[in-house]
Amino acid sequence: MLKGTAREAAAEFFGTFILIAFGVGVVAQNVLSNGANGSYLAINLGWGLAVMLGIYTAGGVSGAHLNPAVTVALAVHRQLPWSKVLPYVLAQTAGAFVASAVVFVTYREAITAFDGGTRLIEGANATAGIFATYPQPFLSLAGGFVDQVIGTMLLMAGVMAVTDQKNVAPPAWLTGPLVGALVVAIGVAFGFNAGYAINPARDLGPRLFTAIAGWGPGVFTAGGGWWWVPVVAPCVGAILGAWLYDAFINKHHAAPEAGK
């Protein structure tokens, strides 16, 4: 039986696995059916439901960070022991990698029918974007960095609000649906530029999988070397989002009355 950080990391692995299996799966179904089975809204809803299910899977054991940016922000702002950060991050990334492999095995024949057996990163029959995010042609790396900082800032501020028991936080069992709804809101509002990764594990784990599963090293050079932006920028955004929540809300809660 696993104990301590190992137990929590195992929960982060499986929770992230659930998140990415459903999230990448909904993108695969939409892309491979040429939009016949799904839509952009369906993708956003699928990711929101995926987040909810991941939270319900791991929440009682590890808190269900499911996102290295969240883990880092909680270490900076909420005294999460730094000794837990690397195990959590590795587990999250591994969970995303394995989930991508599961989606690939499930849809392998559909992918081959779509791209003719040539794994493409760019173009009309590209399938790399099923797994990891890639920027729009007009988006610069600087613009993409801003995009990811803002998206993850909103995510982290929303997570802090939903879980702040000194505010108007809902019962714990509602955290999953509300954070899932938050992800849907970010997707429908800020998904156009680069697919709103807002999670380093969500992007890096699947990208590593595609690099060894037929798409090759081009997944790291595409988009002007885009790959590092959804790894670094979300961490900046999450730290910023937590700081803003504390600066504007958490530091100004009324002190509890005596005897209460």
Name the residue range of residue 191's domain.
4-249
Mean predicted lDDT score pLDDT of the chain = 96
Q: What tens digit of pLDDT does each residue of 86-118 get?
A: 999 999 999 999 999 999 999 999 999 999 999
pLDDT reported for residue 260: 53
Residue 46, domain member (yes or no): yes
pLDDT, average across residues 77-93: 97
pLDDT, average across residues 54-74: 98
Residue 35 CB neighbour total at 10 angstroms = 12
Tokens for 104?
A: 């690939």
For residues 158 and 221, give the distance between their C-alpha atoms in angstroms, rounded to a whole number.
Answer: 33
Q: What percent of the chain has pLDDT over 70?
A: 98
Q: What tens digit of pLDDT does each residue of 141-196 get?
A: 999 999 999 999 999 999 999 999 999 989 999 999 999 999 999 999 999 999 99
Residue 65, pLDDT > 60, answer yes
Please report how many Cα atoms fall inside a 13 Å half-sphere around the Cα of residue 183, on the Cβ side. Answer: 29
Residue 258, domain member (yes or no): no
Tokens for 45?
A: 């809803």
Q: What percent of the chain has pLDDT over 90?
A: 95
Residue 176, domain member (yes or no): yes
Q: What's the structural domain count of the chain?
A: 1
Residue 109, domain member (yes or no): yes
Residue 19, domain member (yes or no): yes
pLDDT reported for residue 258: 55
* Domain of residue 135, CATH code: 1.20.1080.10
Contact 104, 213 (CB under 8 A): yes
